[in-house]
Amino acid sequence: MEIRQVVGSLVCTHRVAGLGHWDLRLLQDTKGKHYVATDPVDARPGDWVFVVSGSAARYAMGDAGILTDLTIGGIIDRWEEERAAAVEPTAFGAARAA
Q: State pLDDT tens for residues 9-58.
A: 999 988 888 888 899 999 999 999 999 999 999 999 999 999 999 999 99
Query: Is residue 88 scored above 80 in pLDDT?
Result: no
CATH class of 2-79: mainly beta
E strands present in the chain: 2-10, 23-28, 34-39, 48-53, 70-75
CA distance 36 to 32: 13
C-alpha closest to that of 37 among 53, 49, 25, 48 = 25
pLDDT of residue 84: 47
Between these two residues, 89 and 27, which has the higher pLDDT value? 27
Quickly state the pLDDT bin for 98 (edges 50, 70, 90). very low
pLDDT of residue 89: 47
C-alpha closest to that of 43 among 68, 18, 87, 76 = 76
pLDDT of residue 51: 98
pLDDT of residue 31: 95
